[in-house]
Amino acid sequence: MVRTAACVLAVFLAGSFVQATVWAQATTAQISGTVKDQTGAVLPGVEVSVTQTATGAKRTAVSNETGNYVLASLPLGPYILEASVPGFKMYVQTGIVL
């Protein structure tokens, strides 16, 4: 049965957050969170990637058995986030600025 991404990744975004390194002048940040479906069940094996729109540099992580993922040491700038797993529609979030 195929589920729609709108339900799944609305919860995904609520669980994700951006954290900047606390320095006088931060040069990197991270994006991390927990991927869950519309029932609140965690989703392991989701490929989460971010692409820095200014440079095209791409980083990818896969959610673990508890649905958690971390993309650490990201250069500051604008990003697009994509999340995908078989059986779900790909989710794309634009306008992320670290």
Q: Please count the structural domains in the chain.
A: 1
- For the chain (98 residues), the mean pLDDT of every run of 10, in chain order, is 40 48 69 87 93 96 95 94 88 91
Helix H, strand E, coil C: the string for 2-65 is CECHHHHHHHHHHHCEEEECCCCCCCEEEEEEECECCCCCECCCCEEEEEECCCCCEEEEECCC
What CATH number is given to the structural domain containing 20?
A: 2.60.40.10
CA distances 1 to 8, 86, 87, Å, are 14, 11, 7
Domain containing 52 equals 5-97
Q: What is the pLDDT of residue 24?
A: 52
3 state DSSP class of 1:
coil
Q: What is the pLDDT of residue 76?
A: 93
